[in-house]
Amino acid sequence: MDNRIQKKDLICELPDELLLKILASLPSKDVKIKSILQLKLNPCYEKPIIKRLVNNAVARSLRELRLKMVYNSFELPESLFSCPQLETLKLETLSLVDVPPNADLTCLKHLHLLSVKFSCDESVKTLLSICPRLEELVVRRSSYTNVKIFAINVPTLRSLSIDNSSGKSRPKGVHGFLINAPSLRCFSIRDSFSNYLRFRNMPKLVKSTVNVVSDIMIR
């Protein structure tokens, strides 16, 4: 008979809601967060708790953050946009407010925007403009995404993936993508909704996959 006592990680067995409250109640200096943090949230979580947790993560020199909200408006703390050590940011099904004027994502190289709602088209440009080292961008649009012209003007971008094939509706009028990426090497797009696509300045492109089924204007 094996009399050895098997140790259990009781913390990991706690419900997510309780774990969030525990982490959010601790001072930043007492919270030890590894370089990878993934949060999958639903509307029952209290916004102050979520903000406190993200603030704690940023204070601990977070390098990667994955944040998913189940179709509910959530305003990310401004501290997230002033996190120069952040290298990977993956946002899914959440709503973003305008990027603050003191934003700084200097080290961000990988950005995933999956069904993200912006306040306006200009907010997309502002977000990308504070990422001077961005190399990979993944965009997935849906009926939740309210941007009309998704302008991607990133000189350092090397890989771009666009999926605009899910959902039932899009904004009225002209809507689609405007892409200017002189360093782009890998490009893929799957689009069933856009009526405007403009690609320009891609001299270094070596691999592309284009799957477009729509009545669109391509330039």
Sequence-separated (6 or more) residues with CB below 8 Å from residue 152: 128, 137, 139, 160, 177, 178, 179, 180, 181
Asked, for residue 133, whether it belongs to a domain, the answer is yes
How does pLDDT run across 135-157, given as a tens digit for each residue? 999 999 987 778 899 999 999 99
Q: How far apart are CA 69 and CA 72, in angstroms?
A: 6
Ranges 30-44, 48-62, 75-89, 184-198, most confident: 184-198
Q: Which amino acid is at 38?
A: Q
Asked, for residue 106, whether it belongs to a domain, the answer is yes
Asked, for residue 149, whether it belongs to a domain, the answer is yes
- The pLDDT of residue 32 is 47
Asked, for residue 80, whether it belongs to a domain, the answer is yes
**Tally of domains within the chain:** 1
Say yes or no to pLDDT of 71 above 90: no
**CATH, residue 186:** 3.80.10
CB 105 within 8 A of CB 130: yes
Helix (H) or strand (E) holding 39: strand 36-41
CA 140 to each of CA 108, 112, 132: distance values in angstroms, whole numbers, following the listed order: 19, 8, 22
Q: Which domain holds residue 51?
A: 35-210
How does pLDDT run across 162-203, given as a tens digit for each residue? 999 887 766 678 889 999 999 999 999 999 888 899 998 999
Helix (H, G, I), strand (E, B) or coil at 155: coil
pTM of the model: 0.80
Asked, for residue 111, whether it belongs to a domain, the answer is yes
CB 130 within 8 A of CB 153: no
